[in-house]
Amino acid sequence: MIDTITKQLGAQADSLLNHKCKTIAKERLHLPGPDWVDRIFAPTNRNNRVLNNLDWMLNTGRLAGTGYLSILPVDQGIEHSAGASFAKNPDYFDSENIVKLAIEGGCNAVASTFGVLASCARKYSHKIPFLVKINHNQILTLPNTFDQVMYGTVKEAYNMGAAAVGATIYFGSPESNRQIVDVANAFAEAHEYGMVTVLWCYLRNSAFKTKDKDFHVSADLTGQANHLGTTIQADIIKQKLPENNGGYLAMQMGDSSYGKIDKRVYTELTTDHPIDLTRYQLANCYMGRAGLINSGGASGSHDFEEAVTTAVINKRAGGMGLISGRKAFQRPMADGVKLLNAVQDVYLCKEVTVA
């Protein structure tokens, strides 16, 4: 297994597999493991039904019993438009195929919209944990606007048999304060019903993208988004893999000030290595008390290599898994299963250790 992973990593293999993290030591982290629910969540305020559903998720699919998660997320029909998402493989206009792919791919859970999961809930909600995405950004307004709004209720997700609910907050956007309140209230209700909560902690502000870099994926800004998400009691944080750092500093141009930061974040707590940058994201999840899952990104010509690379970075940083959608469903189902399995193999491979 390690030989295959090494080959898929290509020229990055040595840097990624042999890196030693000298910023935030792994001994400071709360790392995934078979005892995750008992060790991390049993002491919290979550009720027994939340613990049951979290345990169900962690004991489903090929990664069952490892403490790691492989989740198939397909909410792109709204977030990116159905045509843009499913034109490559029109089979996935049929909602049932989304759930089938998650099951055949050995995933811990399937994440999708109210409509997708409701359309086949009686057939599948007892066979694989459902993660119902309760808010979305729709892109039919002209010009396009970017705001996450509720598409259903927590009670509907509960009645569907969902194990978890998911939501997105666009931190940094003008609407973010309202979104924080909406999602915090929804997550509190979800916990009352016994469901796990998963937050897409995304940044959205045109100022974050400069002529030189896109700071929507900077470790310092995404790290703070993670910290805010953990604060409103997200059990699992979904975040894009960091690609750079220094977002706070870049926004402090001229006489303007932005946020607050300590420069030790850049000199002691991170380096430019992707594993160290991701570890800083994890540190902001209460040192891993909320699991960090990174997203797989858009589909392209090197999907297998990119997915395995992301999984290695996440695992070695101390993360909890991967949530990969477009790379899997924008290809024939058999190939999508192979891609999901390739990601899972990273978490099953004992030679890929925490840095």
Angle at 151 between CA 299 and CA 147, to 5 degrees: 65
**Cα separations in angstroms, 56 against 108, 140, 337:** 8, 37, 21
Active site residue 238: yes
Buried/exposed 243-264: b ≥16 CB within 10 Å, e otherwise: ebbbbbbbbeeeeeeeeebeee
Catalytic site residue from 238, 240, 315, 327: 238
- Nearest CA-CA partner of 69 in 350, 343, 323, 321: 321
> Which phi and psi (to 5°) does residue 148 adopt?
-90, 125
Residue indicated by tokens 């994201």: 281
Q: Return the structure tokens found at 2.
A: 């390690």
| Residue 314 tokens, joined | 């996440």
Q: In the structure encoding, which two tokens stand for residue 95, read together? A: 């909602």
Question: What's the one-letter identity of residue 326?
Answer: R
CA angle 89, 238, 234 (to 5 degrees): 135
- 69-74 and 149-150: which strand pairing? unpaired
State how far the Cα of 213 lies from the Cα of 215, in Å rounded to an integer. Answer: 6
Name the residues annotated as catalytic. 238
